[in-house]
Amino acid sequence: MKIVATLTATALAAASFLVLADGGKGGHGKIAERLQAADTNGDGLISKAEAASLPRISKNFDAIDANKDGQVSKDELRAFHQQQRAAHAAERFKKVDVDGDGRISKAEAQANSPRLAAHFEQIDANGDGFVTPEEMKAAHQKHARGPK
């Protein structure tokens, strides 16, 4: 089942952060290969020096290194990726929510996101005529799990 392209675009845009580590060549396997190749001492962590071969990670190293130990772990990369994805989703939501009331009406969806409008009733879980960030997140999670 197709679901809001906005959600898909948000997920893809956020996923692109990890693709950035792979030079934009695509594929999770290539990302893992690039990370493994950068980890020259084989400790499972990326130091600031090792990150030099991964420009996007290098650029964001201090933000990714949550515990400030000078190393980036896979968990820190994953957490940063999720944080970026959430920020992008919130930004996209605000663009569609033109009146800034924290929810998207059907009229706002029709005017600013035709694909959201096409799936509006499916996403509006409580049927109140508005889509909230929580309903968008739930729809995205349901879509990510796939059909049952």
Residue 18 has pLDDT above 60, yes or no: no
Question: Residue 110: inside a domain, yes or no?
Answer: yes
- Total domain count, the chain: 2
pTM: 0.64
Question: Residue 90: inside a domain, yes or no?
Answer: no
Could you identify the residue written with the tokens 């999670």?
Answer: 141
Residue 77 shares a structural domain with residue 25: yes
Question: Residue 36: inside a domain, yes or no?
Answer: yes
For the residues of 104-119, what is the DSSP string, one character each? EEHHHHHHH-HHHHHT
Least confident of 50-54, 84-88, 101-105, 131-135: 84-88
Residue 41 shares a structural domain with residue 66: yes
Residue 130 shares a structural domain with residue 75: no
CATH number of the structural domain spanning residue 79: 1.10.238
Residue 21 shares a structural domain with residue 70: yes
Question: Residue 19: inside a domain, yes or no?
Answer: yes
At residue 29, the pLDDT reads 79
Residue 23 shares a structural domain with residue 77: yes
Residue 15 shares a structural domain with residue 59: yes
45: Cβ–Cβ under 8 A, 6 or more apart, which residues? 39, 71, 72, 73
Q: Which residue has the higher pLDDT, 68 or 145?
A: 68
Residue 106 has pLDDT above 90, yes or no: yes
At residue 148, the pLDDT reads 60
How many angstroms separate the CA atoms of 100 and 94, rounded? 7
Apex 107 CA angle, 102 and 111, nearest 5: 100
Domain that holds residue 128: 100-145
Residue 67 shares a structural domain with residue 105: no
At residue 50, the pLDDT reads 96
Question: Residue 76: inside a domain, yes or no?
Answer: yes
